[in-house]
Amino acid sequence: MTTVKEKIAYLRGLIEGSDFLGQDAQARAILEKMLEIFDDMANQLDELEAGQEEVEEYLEAIDADLGELEEEIYGHDHDRDDDDDEDDDDEDDDEETNFVEMECPKCKETVYFEEDFLYDDDVEVACPECGATIYKTGSSGEDKADAGAGSSS
């Protein structure tokens, strides 16, 4: 495959080796200037190609690192397109952590949060929909709930 620089060199040889312009110095100067511009363009194209190769190598390295992280986090058998695996993981999490279900007094949205928050000091649980406070513990340890709580696992 012929490169751009090789094609420009061939064109330069044709122009310099031929006498189709005769003694027209002005036309020859124009062609020489055009060849200089072509040379500059070819050099810039080479720089772009080198930069593109660098970016591709960097992207491949990032992809490999990301693959290693996914493997470390999700395990060897993780398949991002398989939703059944995610459901299995959620069931395992539910066995370890109990959740409390409360209804927002403002927008009536059902909100779930970890039961452990009930026993912590200075906790405030806000509705993700409207931002209203659903559950709050004060520094004195008194629990205040704006809506009824029901435990579920």
Q: What are phi and psi of 110, to 5 degrees?
A: -85, 130
Residues 68 and 14 in one domain: yes
Mean predicted confidence (pLDDT) in 16-25: 74
**pLDDT of 61:** 95
Residue 131 lies in a domain: yes
Residue 142 lies in a domain: yes
Residue 50 lies in a domain: yes
Residues 53 and 106 in one domain: no
The total number of structural domains that make up the chain = 2
Overall pTM surpassing 0.85 (yes/no): no
In the predicted model, is pLDDT for residue 13 greater than 70? yes
Lowest mean pLDDT among 18-22, 46-50, 114-118: 18-22
Residues 107 and 68 in one domain: no
The mean predicted confidence, pLDDT, of the chain is 78
Residues 6+ apart with CB under 8 A from 34: none
Q: Report whether 134 contacts 100 (CB < 8 A).
A: no
State which residues form the domain around 136. 97-152
Residues 16 and 70 in one domain: yes
Residues 50 and 111 in one domain: no
Label residue 103 exposed, middle or buried (CB < 10 Å: 0-12, 13-18, 19+). Answer: middle
Express each pLDDT in 73-120 by its tens digit.
Answer: 888 655 555 555 555 555 555 457 788 888 898 998 888 888 887 788
Mean predicted confidence (pLDDT) in 53-57: 96
Taking CA atoms, 114 is separated from 65, 93, 122, 151, in Å, by: 33, 11, 15, 10
In the predicted model, is pLDDT for residue 141 greater than 50? no
Residues 64 and 112 in one domain: no
Residues 10 and 50 in one domain: yes
Whole-number Å distance between alpha carbons of 11 and 68: 50
Residues 8 and 70 in one domain: yes
**pLDDT of 88:** 52
